[in-house]
Amino acid sequence: MRYVVRTPEGELTYPSLGDVERAYVQGLVDPDDEVREESASQWRKAGSLPVLARARRPATGLAARGQWLPVAGVVLLGAVALSLVFRDSWRLRVLGIILALVASSMLTRVTFKAFKRTPPSS
């Protein structure tokens, strides 16, 4: 079933609701734009359609840059762990090893999270 999207610039026809959803996620259709089935007469706001309301819009700003904050934390934690491992006190060495293990588990989590994430469509 075809869908018509009405924007301030004009109207576009999409072959299916899935195509409208992809356009919504890419930012081509705004929540305030109006959508209707080609055979229907009633327009609805795109943001009020459940399929589009659940669709995730791409992140902007610092959130779009990925996981830079956890990676920076892991680098800092790794540097502290490395400096503690080379100390004379065995207690500080043990603390350094524990911090290195924590850093490695954090880095593993960041890696798995990045692997699960879908690549941005261009």
Domain range summary for the chain, segments of one domain joined by +: 3-57, 62-116
**pLDDT of 4 above 70:** yes
- What pLDDT is recorded for position 120? 58
- What pLDDT is recorded for position 58? 57
Tell me how far apart the terminal alpha carbons of the chain are, to the nearest angstrom: 26
State both tokens at 92: 């500080």
Average pLDDT over residues 63-81: 84
- What pLDDT is recorded for position 28? 87
**Mean pLDDT of all residues belonging to the chain:** 86
Kindly list the distances between the CA atom of residue 40 and the CA atoms of 5, 29, 50, 96, in Å, as whole numbers in the listed order: 12, 19, 17, 67
Phi-psi region of 78 (alpha: psi -120 to 50; beta: other; left: phi over 0): alpha
**pLDDT of 114 above 80:** no
Kindly list the distances between the CA atom of residue 45 and the CA atoms of 11, 17, 110, in Å, as whole numbers in the listed order: 14, 14, 37
**pLDDT of 122 above 60:** no
State both tokens at 46: 């795109």
Crossing angle for the helix pair 68-85 and 90-116, to the nearest 10 degrees = 160
**pLDDT of 69 above 70:** yes
